[in-house]
Amino acid sequence: MKRLKEGTKCYEYNIFSFISIFILFLVLIFVIKQGNVPY
């Protein structure tokens, strides 16, 4: 039971990481299209 619970926790964490990276990627594309690249 404990092992299954840890696996579910890891799975949820992976999905959260993927969503965060995806949002950051969309923001990056938006910034580049606006031409406001902060260098």
Q: Indicate the number of domains in the chain.
A: 1
Q: Are 9 and 15 in contact (CB under 8 A)?
A: no
Over the Cα atoms of the chain, what is R_g?
Answer: 16
Whether 37 is covered by a domain: the verdict is no
pLDDT at residue 13 in the model = 80
Whether 6 is covered by a domain: the verdict is yes
pLDDT at residue 15 in the model = 87
pLDDT at residue 22 in the model = 96
Note down the domain range covering 18.
1-32
pLDDT at residue 20 in the model = 94
pLDDT at residue 33 in the model = 86
Amino acid of residue 5: K
Amino acid of residue 36: N
> 5 vs 10, 17, 21, 27, 31, CA distance in Å?
9, 18, 25, 33, 39
Tens of each residue's pLDDT in the chain, 39 residues = 566 666 667 777 888 899 999 999 999 999 888 876 555
Whether 39 is covered by a domain: the verdict is no
Whether 38 is covered by a domain: the verdict is no
pLDDT at residue 35 in the model = 78
Two tokens, residue 36: 């406001």
